[in-house]
Amino acid sequence: MTHETTDQRREFIAGLRALADFLETTPSVPCSSSQQLLLPLRTNAAVVQFAADHGLAVEYDEHGNTSADLRFGPITYQAYGYVDFDEHCARRQEEQARTWGADHGLALLPTEGGAA
């Protein structure tokens, strides 16, 4: 699970209530028609447990990573995790580096004894 303090949790919930009050009392301010709040649980096992605790279905993406959605009207509270969080981060960083390189006319090449 996430590591949060009681004060952080209390402040987050108070912030959500303040936002709801502001939107309710200030009709001139546009209000989003949908919103997603993300809950990073890092591992698939943590997402499966979260889903079981709340009677939710677990969804799997093409990489085997999981998510489970709690819906509050148009607001989705999405818990998500990964088969291997460290591998996911490495793959994402490589994708970003390759994209940046391609955008700048460069290419990633393996170093001697390494792989890219």
Predicted confidence (pLDDT) per residue in 89-111, tens digit: 888 899 999 999 999 999 888 88
- Whether 27 and 38 share a structural domain: no
For 37, residues 6+ apart whose C-beta sits below 8 A from its C-beta are 75, 76, 77, 78
Which pLDDT belongs to residue 111?
A: 83
Left if phi > 0, otherwise alpha if psi is -120 to 50, otherwise beta: which for 89?
A: alpha
93 and 45 in one domain? yes
pLDDT in tens, 30-71: 998 889 999 999 899 999 999 999 999 999 999 899 999 999
Same domain, 37 and 86: yes
pLDDT band at 86 (very low <50, low <70, confident <90, very high): confident
Mean pLDDT over 18-30 rounds to: 95
Q: What is the largest CA-CA distance in the chain?
A: 63
Total structural domains within the chain? 2
| Residue appearing with tokens 């969080």 | 85
For residue 79, give the 3-state DSSP assignment: strand
Name the residue range of residue 24's domain: 1-31
Considering the domain architecture, whether residues 23 and 48 belong to the same structural domain is answered as: no
Q: Where are the alpha helices (DSSP H) in the chain?
A: 6-25, 44-54, 85-103
CATH of the domain at 88: 3.30.720
